[in-house]
Structures are given as structure tokens and as C-alpha cells.
Amino acid sequence: MSSVPHPLAPELRAVNGRELAGLILGLVIVVSPHAGRAPWWLTVLVLGLYGWRTLIAVLNMPLPPRWLLLMIGAVAMVGIRAEFHMLFGRAPGIVLLVLFSGLKLLEMRTQRDALVITLLCFFLIITNFLYSQSIPAALAMCVALLVIVTTMVGLSAPQRSPHANLRTAGLLLAHAVPVALVLFLLFPRVQGPLWGLPQDGYTGVTGLSDTMSPGTLARLALSDTVAFRAEFQGAPPPQRLRYWRGPVLWDFDGRTWRMGPTVFAPFRPPTGGDARYRYSVVLEPHNRDWLFSLETAASLPDQARFTADGEIIARRPVRERRRYELVSVANPVPDPREDPFVLQRALRLPEGFDPRAIALADEWRRSSSSDSQILARAIDWLRSSRIAYTLEPPLLGPDSIDEFLFDSKAGFCEHFSSAFVFLMRASGLPARVVTGYQGGDLNPVDNIVTVRQSDAHAWAEVYLRGRGWLRVDPTAVAVPSRIESGIARAIPEGEAVPLLMRRELRWLRSLRYNWEAITHKWNVWVLGYDPQRQRDLMAFVGIRDSDWRNLTAALFVVLGVLVALLVAWSLRQLARPDPVQRAWHHFCRKLGARGVRRAPSEGPRDFSERAARSLPRAREGIQRIGDLYLALRYGAEAPAAKIDELRRLVRELRVT
């Protein structure tokens, strides 16, 4: 055996223009979502590298020397290091991969390099999913996959038309879908992560934070991003009752409210209440450990703990979409028991801030006989204060509470709640700030409440001796429409409200409701498919206590069936002879029945001549069939009309 190189060997064949075009198209689709996240200069550089390679192909220039590419790579790496302050995090790693795609393209000579780039594309696709796994992102990546697979087909079959390659690629992907579905459902899922994630693994998610200062919620309220979705069994609570409890803030330094230390407590379900709501929440990852619950939670989700101030805390920060079940009660009877140290903490105020607010609180204290009277006076004062509700609050100086209450008289919910809790504490009532979300959009299509960052809210809780903690929403007191009908009505005309929050675009809303319903299904069934869901599915089909062993067994059985089907498909295609051949076989069978059997070595011409001699009555037909068959089988063309004629002749042949 000699070792002549294979003419189709990927390390030998140069890449042609069409293959290059396919590669660049695939790369552009795959890289474009990164363009918004990568530093702008890198995007420009990488596009420039693609353009350079295209130019080289068009003008038939030599490829740049390797040292030049290494230099470009080194300079770009220094830039990335400067931009991200590291090289091996998640974001810089992805940017490096994008850069590498451009450099690899420029040193691509042979098919083997091209194939390495196609593999690189697969990695770039998955890096996109780190940022967005939405339906449009998935569709875009499907298009990219089709382009890449088409290019791969083209690489293995040169001189084939792109159209035929596209068809082959489509066929391959169509065959892959059932296999992928089975693997997706049955492949034993492991709860990640397998190892420590890079430090920057989860930056860039929006959501409530553990602190609140003037402006933080107003900024958050400009975001349309979904915080979570809740699916109620039965009717959801009305808008004004939809207070979703998040972090509770205790400590104030004159400007910023903080959570302070978390105190875990055994869960005590509330007593009494108007209505019970059973619902499940699909929480978007927010990289914090708190879970949101409708006030007041009457059950605790799995893998979560309860704190003394009524927060629900997950064991780990929520870094992937998480689903949990809850029961809540509206307006329960408050529990009057409370730790004196906690109440002490709920009265603490920073020294030397906001003298006017303190004076106002002192005045209430002096002129009231009870705590509830102080509360009533405060609410009355707020209602008549004519403070405006705005998404664009003016900047405040060091005495932020005073300036808000008496000077600027305009603010967002963090201003209201902060000032109110300050006034309560100053007048001797224990109080705390509760942050979370208020309201949420009820989708009439699937009855799911979608809560967005723009629903972020802060309210107050005041402790009345003998009664317990009571919710007071100062924003609702001052601007009742905020709670009754949502943020869009409460904000004055002309201010920037997130597009989807606007009232006038009704058709847009209905479109959005349908889209939201699809998105929710996608989130729950595709993106939220985790070990738990897998166990549920297995239990549904009757396999209880599924573990990796019976999952693997089931996987192999189903995959085996699929592969058998695939092979059967290819065999069926092979076994089906063409119409000409079928007609000829029919002809041979007909003659065979009359005793004129074709010898294995006998050619069609000899056979038809012999048959014509031995069956003189059918001579003419036999000869015409023989001639037609020879023409169709060995001629240059096989027109459909001739094939039909052959079939008709064979059918009508009478050999009796």
C-alpha cells in the first residue's frame, strides 16, 4: 500500500471562496450578539479581520505572516486585560474567543483550519446562551447552526451546489431533532456547578439590591426586564394586594438603608386572613439569595429558610431560573410578639440629620395620646402634603429626608418609604423599610402575573404595641393611583415610562400578552428543565425514584429505537429501485411466468430478443419494451414521458 495523500483530506485541500463565505456568514451571526457586550474596539477589530480575510480571498493575496497575527493578538489581549482587569474571567474569556475566531480565519489555509473554525462556532453559540436564552436568541442560533452545517457539508463535498448542501444540512438537522429531544429529556441531569465559577460569573443581572438610597429604585423602574412570573391556582389577588416581599431594610445612615445582619427564625405560618393563594413562582436569576413571596407567606418553599423579619432566603444565590411553590394569605392577623432588641433596632436613627423631620415627628408625639394616633396623624399629613410621584426625582443633599418632605416635594417610592420610616422612628414607633415589587401584569392569555423590574417598590412596616407589624404604603397614601392602577397612570404625562408600561398601546399589549404566555412556557419547559423536572417527568411516565441508572437505561433504549429508525430510513431509500428498474423487473416476472426466464448473465438486449423469438405473438411489445428499457437505462437522458410509456407497455403486455 502506498501512502498517496487523500485528495479529499482536509489538511490538503485549500478553502475556496464559497466555503469562506459560508464560514464568515456563520461567524457573523454567532458573534453579532456579543458585539453589544464586547468592547467596541474589539468588535471593530474582529470585523476588520473578517473583512481582511475576505479581501485576501477576493484579490488572491497571500495570507499575512504569522508574526503579524501573533502581534495583533498580543496587543488585543493587552487591551482586553485593561478593559476587564483580568483575562480568565467569563466575559474576557468570551471576548478572547471572538478575537481568536478572527485570527484563526486569517491563518486559514486548508480545509482542516476551516473545520476547526466550524467547531469554534459551536463554542461561540453556547457562549451566547450564557447571556440570553430567549426564543429569538435560540432561533438566531438555529440559523447559525444551519449555515455552519451547510458549510461543513460543502467542505466534505467540493463542487456541489450550495443549494444541495443546504438540503443535506437540513436533512441532517431534521434527523438530529428527535435524537436531541430524547437526549434532552432523558440524559441524566446533574445539578451544577461542577467547579467554582469565575468571579465575574454572574455580574450584569438587574434586580433589587440589599441597600436602598434615593434614586436606586427609580433607576430600576426604567427596566422592562422580567423579575419573576407567578402562576396562581385559581384567581390571582387584585392589583392592590399584590405586594411581593423582598429584602427588609433596617439600618439607616442618613442616606442609605441597609439590611444589616440576617436573623433566621423558625417558620411560623400566619393566622387568620381573608384569602389564601396557592401559586408557583418562576424567578429569574438575580444572583441574590432572597426569594419573593406574596405577602404574607403561609408556607416555605423547599430548600429555603425563613428570617425573623419575614424574608424567604434560598440556600444559594439564585443563579439560574428557579421555580418554587408557595401559599400566601392576604391580610392575616399580625403577631404582636416581637423581640425587644429587634424593636430597639427598629427605632435607631442616625445622629444629626434632618432636623425639620425630627421636629415634625416630635410635634406628632406630643400631641398624640397613642401610637395608633401618631400613625393616623402621619398618614393624614402625608395625604395632604401634595408630594409628587415621579420617576425623575431631583437630586438631594445631605439632609435627604428634609429636602424631600419640605423642599423638592417630589420623589419615587424609595423617598416615600424612607421618609415615612424615618418619621415613625423619630416619633417613637418601631418601623422598617420593606423592598420588593408591587403589582405585576396579569396576562389574560394564560392568567400568569408577570412582575418586572419596573414594578420595584418600597413600603414601610410599623410596629404597634399589642398589635404587631402593620404594612403602611406611604406611596399609596400620597399617590393612590400608583397602587390601584400601576405605575403608568401614577407618573405624570411626559415622563419616560418603559415602553411596555404605557397605556395607549393596546394592540402592543395584547401582542405582548401572547408573547409573554409563550415565553413563560419556554421558560418553564425548556429553560427550567432541571433534575427536579426530570424526576417529575419520569414519575409521570411511571418510573418512580428515577436515578441516573434507570435514566441511562431508558435513554439507551429510546436512542436505540431512534437509530434503528434512522437506519431503516436509509435502507428503505436504498431498497427502492427506480421506476425504470421496477418496470423491467415486472416485465421479467411476466415473461418468467410464461417460462421465459432471464439467465443471470443475460443482458437486456439478448433477453428481449430471445423472448421475442419464443413468444412470437407478443413479439412487437417485447421488442419495444426492450428498446425502451435500453434507451432509458443506458441513454443519456430518461424523460418522464418515456418512463411512463415503458410502464404502460409492461402493464399492457399480453403474453398469453
Partner 1 sequence: MIRSLLANPRLANWLYGFTPPERGPVVLGHRRVYIVPTRLGWLFGASLAVLLVGSINYAISLGFALTFLLAGVGLAAMVQTTRNLARLAVSAGRVEPVYAGESAQFSLHLDNRAGFERPAILLRHLASGAQRVVSVPPIASTEAVIPVLAVRRGWLPLGRVMLETRFPLGLFRAWSYVEPEARALVYPRPERTATPPMSAGSLPGAARAQSSGNDDFSGLRSYQRSDSPRHVAWKAVARSDDMLTKQFSGEAAAELWLDWQQLPASLGTEQRLSRLAGWVLAAERAGALYGLRLPAVAIAPDRGEVHFSACLQALALFEAP
Q: Which of residues 36-95 bind partner 1 (CB under 8 A)?
A: none
**Of 4 and 395, CB closest to partner 1:** 4
> CB 555 → partner 1: shortest distance, Å?
11
CB of 195 to partner 1, least distance (A): 7
- Residue 189: what residue type? R
Quick one: 7 or 204, whose CB is closer to partner 1?
A: 7
Contact 221, 487 (CB under 8 A): yes
- At 61, list the grid cell: 493575496
Q: How far apart are CA 123 and CA 132, in angstroms?
A: 15
Cell of 378: 402621619
**Of residues 23, 99, 152, 423, which one binds partner 1 by CB under 8 A?**
152
- 642 forms part of the interface with partner 1 (CB under 8 A): no
Using the CB atoms, write b or e for 239-249: b if 16+ within 10 Å: bebbbbbbbbb
Hey, which residues between 529 and 568 contact partner 1 (CB under 8 A)? Answer: 529-530, 563, 566-567
415 is catalytic: no
Report residue 318 as a C-alpha cell. 439564585
d(Cα 10, Cα 14) in Å, to the nearest integer? 8
Question: Per CB under 8 A, does 500 bind partner 1?
Answer: no
Q: To the nearest whole angstrom, how small is the minimum distance from the Cβ of residue 537 to partner 1?
A: 14
Contact 443, 521 (CB under 8 A): no
Q: Tell me the C-alpha distance between 297 and 493, whole Å.
A: 36
State which residue, 442 or 588, has the beta carbon closest to partner 1. Answer: 588
- Cα separation, 61 vs 93, whole angstroms: 32
- Indicate which single residue of 73, 79, 162, 178 sits in contact with partner 1 (rule: CB under 8 A): 178
Among 164, 333, 359, 518, binds partner 1 (CB under 8 A): 164
Cell numbers at 302, concatenated: 423547599
Query: Is 160 among the residues that bind partner 1 (CB under 8 A)?
Result: yes
Distance in angstroms (rounded) separating the CA atoms of residues 16 and 90 = 34
Residues 117-146 that bind partner 1 (CB under 8 A): 119, 122-123, 125-126, 129-130, 133, 137-138, 141, 145
Segment 320-339, which members bind partner 1 (CB under 8 A)? Answer: 320
Report helix angle 40-59 to 90-106, nearest 10. Answer: 10
Name which of 454 and 519 has its Cβ closer to partner 1. Answer: 519
Binding mask 562-591 for partner 1 (x = CB under 8 A): -x--xx-xx--xxxxxx-xx----------
Is 413 annotated in the active site? yes
**Nearest C-alpha neighbor of 69 from the set 82, 81, 54, 53:** 53
Query: How far is Cα 116 from Cα 523, in angstroms, rounded to an integer?
Result: 33
What gap in Å lies between CA 207 and CA 327, rounded to an integer? 23
Does 163 qualify as catalytic in the annotation? Answer: no
**Three cell numbers written together for 162:** 450550495
By the rule CB under 8 A, 526 interacts with partner 1: yes
The answer to whether residue 115 forms part of the interface with partner 1 (CB under 8 A) is yes
Angstrom distances, CA of residue 210 to CA of 13, 261, 291, 447, 469: 59, 11, 13, 31, 21
Cα separation of 601 and 598, whole Å?
Answer: 8
Q: Which grid cell sits at 3?
A: 501512502
Does residue 270 touch partner 1 according to CB under 8 A?
no
Nearest to partner 1 of 363, 606 (CB atom): 606
Closer CB to partner 1, 10 or 428, in the complex: 10
Task: Report the nearest approach of partner 1 to the CB of residue 300 (Å).
Answer: 23
Q: Which of the residues 188 through 207 are near partner 1 (CB under 8 A)? A: 189-195, 197, 201
Which of 466, 601, 641, 652 forms a contact with partner 1 (CB under 8 A)?
601
| Active-site choice (413, 415, 520, 588) | 413
Q: Is 14 in the site for partner 1 (CB under 8 A)?
A: no
The cell for 570 is 436509509
Catalytic residue among 286, 415, 457, 520: 457
Q: Which of 34, 455, 473, 588 is catalytic?
A: 473
What cell was used for 107?
491563518
Catalytic residue list: 413, 457, 473
